[in-house]
Amino acid sequence: MTQSAGGFRAALVAGWIALSAAGLLYARSKGIPTWVAVPVLAAFLIEYPFYLVPGFAEVRERFERGLPFFLVFSFVLPYIVYATNTGQFRWLALVQLAALATALSLWYKVLPQAPPADCAFLALAAAVVLRGYFDAIYTSPVHGLHLEILGHLALTRLCIMVMLVERRVAGVGLGFAPSLAEWKTGVRHFIYFLVPAIPLVLATHLVRVGPPAPAWKIAATFLGVLWVVALSEEFFFRGLLQQWMTRWTGRPALALAAASILFGAAHLGFRGFPNWRFALAAAVAGWFYGRAYQQARSIRASMVTHALVVTAWRAWFV
């Protein structure tokens, strides 16, 4: 998958087909009524091309002119599509989404491109996620359907577009398809991580070995984590935070350690605050993610390590 417009079109068609099939199968398996499944699936299919754009350099640069308008419009459109057709639409929620998108989209048009503004941008994005900003906006008409993921997807690609197109951050290595060298670096650091991780999680009783998941579920988990969870977290913690702290301090080892600690701290709320055991494991994992990023000079390598760690945890441990 190249970063050209042709690669974007190929990924778009393939993704739409896969998402449509997966969405219909999921709706059927969960007994989600058609009047809910159709508009929700439509919202995800609309979000998908917007989510793809940042990963294709040739495409994202086309949105440099009029970027704030594009980002705000694309931020609210999936919400409008699903909410108006499921009885969940609220004007206040729409205003909240538009206000957040406008603030982030205009950030560097109002503030200077300097460390204080950079830190404030990251702090605002982190607060939105950690405080559950989207939970009360993306409400579901049926129980158990968590639609706030639409907000998280939109926030991720909006912030990436602002940083790559407006802020002109270099040295990130954003993309959806790691190279062979990046795969090797990512896998190698996953193996390195297992050496301290296995005794750590067993000693802290964080997990226990369970029955392995089916192969199809392992593969789906890996791809989902690679392209959503790992992409977003590695972009912010390694591509931005670790890179910036390296530049600010001139000490790569200190930046690696600080980014890893902050990464662990961001996971304190996992399944009950404060989950110190999980935060410790996340900080250790973050160190290996950061090492993969340092060696490859690309978050695609750290995305591989990250996705392998999460997939192994979900596939073989409980």
| pLDDT given for residue 261 in this prediction | 97
3-state secondary structure of 317: strand
Q: Mind listing the pLDDT tens digit for each residue in 89-140?
A: 999 999 999 999 999 999 999 999 999 999 999 999 999 999 999 999 999 9
User: What are residue 317's phi and psi, to 5 degrees?
Assistant: -125, 155
Q: Mind listing the pLDDT tens digit for each residue in 221-244?
A: 999 999 999 999 999 999 999 999
DSSP 8-state symbol, 111: S
**Separation of alpha carbons 154 and 105, rounded Å:** 12
**Separation of alpha carbons 51 and 75, rounded Å:** 10
26 band by pLDDT with thresholds 50, 70 and 90? very high
72 band by pLDDT with thresholds 50, 70 and 90? very high
- Which pTM value belongs to this model? 0.94
**Separation of alpha carbons 62 and 202, rounded Å:** 50
Question: Could you tell me the two tokens for 26?
Answer: 């999921």
Does the pLDDT value for residue 1 go beyond 60?
no
| pLDDT given for residue 219 in this prediction | 93
CA dihedral 177, 180, 181, 186 (to 10 degrees): 60
- Between 216 and 300, the higher pLDDT residue: 300
| pLDDT given for residue 32 in this prediction | 95
Please provide the DSSP assignment of 147-212 as one string: TTHHHHHHHHHHHHHIIIIIS---S----SS--HHHHHHHHHHHHHHHHHHHHHHHHTT---B-PP
Q: Mind listing the pLDDT tens digit for each residue in 261-287?
A: 999 999 998 887 888 998 999 999 999
User: Which sequence spans correspond to the domains of the chain?
Assistant: 5-166, 180-316
3-state secondary structure of 138: coil
Beta-carbon count within 10 A of 99 CB: 11
Beta-carbon contacts of 203 under 8 Å, excluding residues fewer than 6 positions away, are none
CA distance readout (Å), 188 to 52, 172, 200, 304, 317:
27, 20, 19, 10, 21
163 band by pLDDT with thresholds 50, 70 and 90? very high
Which H/E stretch holds residue 84? helix 67-84
Produce one character per residue of 53-83: b if its CB has 16 or more CB atoms within 10 Å, e if not.
bbbbbebbeebeeebbebbbebbbebbebbb
| pLDDT given for residue 93 in this prediction | 98
Mean pLDDT of the chain: 94
318 band by pLDDT with thresholds 50, 70 and 90? low
Beta-carbon count within 10 A of 270 CB: 14
**Separation of alpha carbons 203 and 197, rounded Å:** 10
**Separation of alpha carbons 50 and 157, rounded Å:** 7
Q: Mind listing the pLDDT tens digit for each residue in 32-68?
A: 999 999 999 999 999 999 999 999 999 999 999 999 9
| pLDDT given for residue 207 in this prediction | 74
| pLDDT given for residue 269 in this prediction | 86
| pLDDT given for residue 2 in this prediction | 64
Please provide the DSSP assignment of 232-292 as one string: HHHIIIIIIIIHHHHHHHS-HHHHHHHHHHHHHHTTTTTTSS--HHHHHHHHHHHHHHHHH
| pLDDT given for residue 83 in this prediction | 97
